[in-house]
Amino acid sequence: MAVGQCDFPVMHEVAGLCLGTTCAGIKQTLKDDLLVIAMADSGTCAAVFTQNAFCAAPVLLAKANLPHQPRWLLINSGNANAGTGNQGMLDALDSCTELAKCVDGAANQVLPFSTGVIGQPLPVDKIIIALPTAIADLAPNHWDKAARAIMTTDTFPKGVSKQINLGGQIVTITGISKGAGMIEPNMATMLGFIATDAKIAQPLLQACLAQAVDQSFNRISVDGDTSTNDACVLLATGASLAPELFEDSANYPIFADAVMAVCKQLAEWIIRDGEGATKLMRIWVEEASTDDEALQVAKTIAHSPLVKTAFFASDPNWGRILAAVGRAGVSNLILEHVQIYLNEVCIVKDGCRDPAYTEAAGQFVMNQEEIVVTVRLGRGQIAAEVLTCDFSYDYVKINAEYRT
C-alpha cells in the first residue's frame, strides 16, 4: 500500500515521441510487459546507469549504443537478464537487432532495458514474437500504458508531466519510472524514462540529466541495495518551436530546473511505493561542513534497519536516530552542537535529550504518515535531503516470495 495519494497525473504528449506496449508473456500473461519507445531522428539522448559491478547485459549494451544517436528504447519487465553471462549479451543484442529490422533502423540505435528476476535467461523468442504488436501500438498518448508495462513489485504507475514557457513557446517534459525495492542512492536504482520536445545538444542534455539525477534518484533509499539493471534516460526530440538551448542561454536554467523537478517527483513516487511502506521520511541534514558530510549522515539514518523498523512501529525511539548520526563517520563531531528534530519536536539538544521533550510529543509525530527528521550538525552551512521509508512485515514477505 503506497504512502499518500498517488494518482496517475495528466500526461502531456511529447511531440516527436511515441510509445507502444504489449504482453509478451515474459513472466506472466495478465498485463503488458514489453514497451517500445520511438523518437524522431532529429532527437538526442542522454542516459545514466547503475554503478553495480554486476550490471546486467542490457545495461552494458545500452552504454555501448548510447554514442550512436539512439532512436528507440526496448524495455521488458519480468526478467532482468542479469547474471546471465555471454548468453545474456547475445540475447540483448538479438532483441535490439530484431526491433531494428521491424522499424528499418540500426541495431546500435536501440537501447535495451530489463527489470525483474536476476539469473534467468531472457525469453528472446517471446520478445521477438511480441515486437510487431508493440510497434503497431505506438502512439504519443500511451504514457499510462507504458508506466504500467514496466512495473514489477510496484503498486501503482508512476508519472510526471510539466510544461514550461521558453522564449514564448511551450516545452513539455514528461516521464515515467518504476521501482519499489532494491532502491539505494547510487545512480539510479530504478528505471526512468523522461522525454522532452526541447532542442538541445547531447552533451548538454547529458549534463542536465546527470545533475538532476544527483539531486533526485541518487537521494532516495528503500533498502540500501543497488540493483544490477537500473538506468534513467532523457530523450529530447527537438520538435518544439522554442529556441535551441545552450549552457549560457537564459532559458537553460529554467529547463534544467524543470527536469530536476520531474526527476524529484518521480523519485518521491518510488519512495511512496517502497515495498511494504507505511511511512515516508524526509531526512534533512543541515549545518554540515560539506555536501559529502551532509549526505553521509542522511544516508546512514535512511539505511538503518533499526530506525526504519522503529518508524514502522510508530515508536519514538529517538536513540536509534542518535546512534545513526554518531556512526555516520563525521570526523571531530562536537556532540554538544548536535540537534535532532521529529517534525517540529526537538528530541536532542546540546548532544543529549532535550529537557523539554516528552514522549507524548514524540508519539504524536510518529503516528503521522509523513515525517521530517531534521539533524543540525552545527558545523557549517551545507544541507542535504534523502527520502526513505519504513520497514514493515510486508517488505519481508514481498521479497521472500519474489520468485514464487
Range list of H helices, 201-358: 202-214, 251-272, 291-303, 305-312, 318-326
Distance CA 347, CA 352 (A): 8
C-alpha cell at 278: 507505511
Say which of 50, 152, 189, 374 is annotated catalytic. 189
User: Strand, helix or coil at 239?
Assistant: coil
Helix (H) or strand (E) holding 88: helix 85-103
Distance CA 318, CA 358 (A): 12
Active-site residue flag, 189: yes
Among residues 356, 337, 400, 348, which one has the least CA distance to residue 373?
Answer: 348
Q: At what angle do helices 251-272 and 202-214 cross, to 10 degrees?
A: 40
C-alpha cell at 269: 513516487
User: Strand, helix or coil at 289?
Assistant: coil
CB 62 within 8 A of CB 49: yes
Amino acid at 282: R
Distance CA 141, CA 12 (A): 8
Distance CA 167, CA 139 (A): 28
β-partners of residue 37 are: 19, 73
C-alpha cell at 339: 540537534
C-alpha cell at 249: 542561454
Residues belonging to the active site: 189
